[in-house]
Amino acid sequence: MMNDTAALNPDSMETALDENMAYRQNLRNRQRIVVKVGSSSLLHRTTHRLDYHKIDVLVRELSDLKNRGKDVILVSSGATAVGREVIRRTDFGRNLAEDSKITVKQACAAIGQARLMMTYQRFFTDYNQISAQILMDKNAVTENLSKYNLYNTFNELLKFDCIPIVNENDSVATYEYSVGDNDNLSAIVASLMHADLLILLSDVDGLYTDDPRINPDAEYIEYVPHLDEKLMKMAKGTTGSESGTGGMNTKLQAGVIATKSGCDMVIVNSRHMKVIHEVVQGRNHGTLFRADPDPNFDLQDYLESSF
């Protein structure tokens, strides 16, 4: 990220912070919530195997939102990382590299996606919820008929009180067809389904003026009422975490899609998954990007021109 502390003007900061606290109280009333969880939030850092404790709390949080009468959609990464770990436990795959060729990654995703869904279904069943799998790619939204069908399927699932679990169709979607990261994918789903809150669970606390791992003077930004070019530039070139693909750049791209579609977005650290209900209660966690609806924003046009 480029150092840009000028983004924080001390004179306007106090008002912005008051506005942030006041606005966050509205998050209690959000009715359709999309939650995105990245691979690094689901896996133990050292072994790269599934962190069942975190998944249990994640599922409990989402189930409770559902029991409060909200519509909940989960966008979960992890297919490739989980599949890779499964393969590494075999004689054949012991030395499988992170940067293996695309066909190997796609095979890993096929194995891992099934394993991931099996795990989610087990936990969601414990909390008396019905979950469903949706695998999609970019074409599912850029082509009119697919978009119509996808919308209808989501709608029926939500009417059935299901929790759809979404991922990119990684074992089939190659470069030309894929969105590539689940930050953008979750914003696309939020936009398509007219969600009013998108929560990006991450291994970072939120947005900083610079990369805090490199620059100790990087300042934390807790409220973004308008996502402008200056902020977009700040995030350029940030890298993702160990297991996933999304850095701050993809999170801000997701912010553009979500906020222009009229959806609030919060980037928050998933260290403690219970942060989900605290965000929905209006507590001041993570960076809030306030919905900033743009009547001229068209999801299909945007995807065709930007991806």
Nearer to ligand GLU, 98 or 126 (CB): 98
Cβ pair 68, 27 in contact under 8 A: no
Nearer to ligand GLU, 79 or 150 (CB): 79
When asked if residue 244 is in the footprint of ligand GLU (CB under 6 A), the reply is yes
Which residues in 136-162 are b (16+ Cβ under 10 Å) and which e? bbbebbbeeeebeebeeebeebbeeeb
Give the range of 17-25, 117-125, 163-171, 188-196 binding ligand GLU by CB under 6 A: 163-171
Q: Would you give the distance in Å from CA 168 to the centre of its chain?
A: 12
Among 100, 121, 215, 245, binds ligand GLU (CB under 6 A): 245
Among 55, 74, 109, 150, binds ligand GLU (CB under 6 A): 109
When asked if residue 80 is in the footprint of ligand GLU (CB under 6 A), the reply is yes
Cβ at position 253, least distance to ligand GLU in Å? 12
When asked if residue 137 is in the footprint of ligand GLU (CB under 6 A), the reply is no
Question: Which residue, chain included where needed, has tokens 């890779």?
Answer: 84
For residue 241, CA distances in Å to 39, 55, 185 come to 9, 18, 17
When asked if residue 181 is in the footprint of ligand GLU (CB under 6 A), the reply is yes
When asked if residue 78 is in the footprint of ligand GLU (CB under 6 A), the reply is yes
Among 34, 37, 39, 154, binds ligand GLU (CB under 6 A): 39
Task: Identify which of 13, 3, 11, 1 has the alpha carbon closest to the alpha carbon of residue 221.
Answer: 13
Among 61, 71, 137, 170, binds ligand GLU (CB under 6 A): 170
When asked if residue 79 is in the footprint of ligand GLU (CB under 6 A), the reply is yes
How far is 5 from 8, CA to CA, in rounded Å?
Answer: 6
How far is 76 from 118, CA to CA, in rounded Å?
Answer: 13
Give the range of 204-212, 226-234, 240-248, 289-297 binding ligand GLU by CB under 6 A: 240-248
What is the contact surface with ligand GLU in residues (CB under 6 A)? Answer: 38-39, 77-81, 109, 167-168, 170, 181-182, 244-246
